[in-house]
Amino acid sequence: MKDFLKFIENKIKENLKIEKIEIIDNSKKHEGHKFFDAKRYHLSLNLESQYLKSLSKIDAQRKVMKVLNKELKDEIHALEINIR
């Protein structure tokens, strides 16, 4: 799991101008939910980025989701994006 989170961190840093990133795995909080899948993650991203902050909230989130497009299809079930 730590390898996957590090992979996500590196992928975001390589593709977007980010000053600081924090990734929180909230998957355990969702155990027992109807569509819970232990093989897919529930992640919260806390990003500090002057670049993303300069965009509209929707455009900034789209940029992040575009970078993680493949992972959103295969490995991430839920993604919360907070940009400061």
Using CB atoms within 10 Å of the CB of residue 41, give its burial: 0 to 12 exposed, 13 to 18 middle, 19+ buried.
buried
Which residues in the chain show pLDDT less than 50?
none
* 3-class SS of residue 60: helix
Specify the DSSP class assigned to residue 36. -
pTM recorded for the entire structure: 0.84
What pLDDT, on the 0 to 100 scale, is given for residue 26? 87
Give residue limits of the domains in the chain: 2-83
CATH no., domain 2-83: 3.30.300.90
